[in-house]
Chains A and B, each alone.
Chain A
Amino acid sequence: MKIRSVLCALAAAAAATVFADVTSNVCGLLKITSDLNNTIIGVPWVEVGTGADVKVAKLVKTDNLTPGDMLYYYQNGTWNAWTLGAQGWERNTTVKVDGITVAAPQEAQGVARGKALILERKGDVTKPFYLYGQFTSDAAAAQTITVGTASAPSYTLLASPKVEAFDFNAEGKIVNPGVNDQIIIPKNGGDNTILTLQDGKWGYRKATTAKKFGKTVTTYTWTQADALAAGTGFWYVSKGGTPTFNW
């Protein structure tokens, strides 16, 4: 239809809003590039269409993954597991973690934004995989860090609920950590990156080896932590700290 004259908005601003183009819910495909056999992945989305906690089977796309790959979810000392089968992600009730048989995940179990899962890959880890779901700008539920002690540290699996890289050292992002607390980011071969606090900043000791006077000399330099890639997570090890994360 051609309109001969200039379009004119109605006097009421609210009525003018009715006439804007319509936009659907925003969804996303977050590409995760990781060469790890065990990758901690974050949950940055909610379920498409409903906005509920996203189901594991819908969050982690099976594209580029291999049958037999595993997903683990840890919460309050309990492990749940899923195995990639012919029909997609299937609940696993027989695998053991740390010698403990996993608890059966609920059929309709959803995982909230800000929670984390561990993806164990058995095939080609050079190919990326995808997390998909629906974007929301709503605040995520507050995460609870289990408080530990120096002799009995507690481990909490964490991830950012946002679809963006997380800078551990940005002002106000991690409030009230324990001075001896640690952040563990997995690396291949078991040589994890362990972040500690120095002068209020998170970083890690970087070893540099050189030959000097015929001897191998290793020096350590403390390096501030890199930002964590979107869609990935970490272990927070509390040795007395009760931190708050302001994602």
Chain B
Amino acid sequence: MKKVFLMVAAMGLAAASFADMNDALLSFATHGPDKYADGTTVIDGECYALVWTAAGAEFGGFKADGTLASATDRLVLAAPLAKGGKCPQTLFQINAAVADELKDGTYAVYLLDTRVKAEDGTTQLAGFKDGKAKVVNAQAAVGDSTAAAATTQTKVALAATAVGGAAITAETIIDAPQITGIKVEGATVKVTVAGMSPAATYKVVTCTKPGDVGKALDAKAKDGTFEFKKPEGTFFKVIGTRNF
């Protein structure tokens, strides 16, 4: 995972200002109270994972070592986020190249069960290292990785619980496009536009008042130029909608 870092949502605006153009900002949260498969409310500091699954594939689950079992899944972010029985609003950014790789697929939030039994018999969290949980769903003594693996094989299906109702947003910061030139050739108008991002889809809309959003014109961009028939409305502009 390249250039992924975690920021608390309270600094959402700061994160946005640090992101480069065409980078993607992802945020997710759960409503809570979230529970493990055994009905226990999630412990503070437990791991949540945001996983991307390729289009058409099913989530394949986590292995005991915190890695994903299926090649069609990708761990976008896993972190010890749980607090107050839920995952608080979390915001982070991924660079444009990674965002482009992840454009076709689905995202879901999973609650990881990393509880282990300590030597004194109490339940603790296994901990988090190198971007993933040390152990997923093992009721085993800390450090007893063999025992943890054996436990996991019978419970791998419950190792990660998709959190229903998790709110996930993904946005890309892109620059506003700029119309730089207009040519009228007979009944055809050619508009040159600068600053269009590969992470967005653009359309030309015409309207009778500057603030309106009228209907989209039948125009596609080619080499930064839209060509369309002279519109009825006096005003027109280019609108970019993020692909994700």
Pairing of A with B: yes
Contact between chains at A21 and B241 (CB < 8 Å): yes
Query: Size range of the interface on B?
Result: 35 or more
Given contacts A15-B16, A63-B186, contact A22 B240 (CB under 8 A): yes
Contact between chains at B231 and A29 (CB < 8 Å): yes
Of residues 136 through 190 on chain A, the ones whose CB sits less than 8 Å from some CB of chain B are 137, 163
Contact between chains at A19 and B184 (CB < 8 Å): no
Is A49's CB within 8 Å of the partner chain B?
yes
Q: What is the CB-to-nearest-CB distance from B187 to chain A, in angstroms, rounded to a whole number?
A: 9
**Choice from B104, B185, B240 contacting A21 with Cβ under 8 Å:** B240
Q: Mark A210-233, 1 if CB is under 8 A from B, else 0.
A: 000000000000000000000000
Is A6's CB within 8 Å of the partner chain B?
yes
Of the listed stretches A35-43, A91-99, A127-135, chain B binds A127-135
**Choice from A14, A19, A29, A49 contacting B181 with Cβ under 8 Å:** A49
Contact between chains at B178 and A29 (CB < 8 Å): no
Is B134's CB within 8 Å of the partner chain A?
no
**Choice from A28, A49, A61 contacting B236 with Cβ under 8 Å:** A28
Of the listed stretches B5-13, B65-73, B113-121, B140-148, chain A binds B5-13
Contact between chains at B237 and A24 (CB < 8 Å): yes
Is A30's CB within 8 Å of the partner chain B?
yes
**Choice from B29, B108, B185 contacting A8 with Cβ under 8 Å:** B29
**Choice from B13, B179, B231, B237 contacting A12 with Cβ under 8 Å:** B13
Interface residues in chain B, defined as those with a beta carbon under 8 Å from any beta carbon in chain A: 9-10, 12-13, 15-16, 25, 27, 29, 55, 89, 91, 102-109, 165-171, 173-182, 184-186, 189, 191, 193-194, 200, 210, 230-231, 234-244
